[in-house]
Amino acid sequence: MKQLLMVFGLFFTLTAGQAVVQEESVSSFNVPVKSLKEGEKGFVHPDSVSTGHLTVVPMSIKGFDGAKGDKINSALRLLEDVVNSDEFKSRVINFVNTKGTRAFASNKNLTNEQIYAQFMEGRETLQPNTPNEMNYYLALYNKPWSRVIGYTDGSINQININWKYFKGNEISDVAANLAHEWTHKIGFDHKSAAEHDSAPYAIGYIVGDIARARLSAGLH
């Protein structure tokens, strides 16, 4: 019985540990995400929604010297290309969740069109007076034993990125992760790391998808 309890104890410790760690610990943003395509029932033509424009503005980039700096800058440029693309607009507007509904989870009662508009407005909760800008405060840290890719929360501007994952990630994954974290900055959340339909995750996956396609087509 004592052994059994120990086994359970270990199980619960690991489970609880993973729950905390997984908050921001998706090691890849290569997750399938569905959006309606032209001709499919319910497709909303992107021309019916006004197009926004965002400029990526690095405000403070700490700890990214040399090649790390080149990599983060490439990811930020790729992100800017992706969020301003027609494909991004259409994929966000036409995003379909795992239940088959054209809506994000934890969407604060906003439609996909409203979430696209709010995203492109570029007004971070903590920095609402810089419209049409994605303002980034990034810091690289090194915790080799940690399973966290990076972290942030709504009360701070800074997004912390773990070198352990950053060093091996493709720039498309870095761009996707930056999109995920920034979606938190404009006030969207997810209940857990399993809420793939939430705006931060789904938009991160959409950015990852488009970014990967651009890289493999040699467009970046």
Contacts with Zn ion by CB under 5 A lie at 200
Of the pair 200, 208, the CB lying nearest Zn ion is at 200
In the complex, least distance from residue 198 CB atom to Zn ion, rounded to whole angstroms:
8
Between the two ends of the chain, the Cα-to-Cα distance in Å is 59
Query: Looking at beta carbons, which residue is closest to Zn ion?
Result: 200
Of the pair 182, 214, the CB lying nearest Zn ion is at 182
DSSP H or E stretch at residue 201: helix 199-216
Give the three-state DSSP class for 199: helix
Q: What is the dihedral of CA 210, 212, 215, 216, to 10 degrees?
A: -110
In the complex, least distance from residue 107 CB atom to Zn ion, rounded to whole angstroms:
15
In the complex, least distance from residue 180 CB atom to Zn ion, rounded to whole angstroms:
6
Q: CA separation (Å) from 208 to 110, 123, 169?
A: 23, 22, 12
In the complex, least distance from residue 24 CB atom to Zn ion, rounded to whole angstroms:
5
Of the pair 181, 209, the CB lying nearest Zn ion is at 181
- How many secondary structure helices (H) and strands (E) does the chain include? 7, 6
* Tokens of residue 69, six digits: 């700096």
Of the pair 24, 113, the CB lying nearest Zn ion is at 24
In the complex, least distance from residue 142 CB atom to Zn ion, rounded to whole angstroms:
21
Of the pair 46, 200, the CB lying nearest Zn ion is at 200
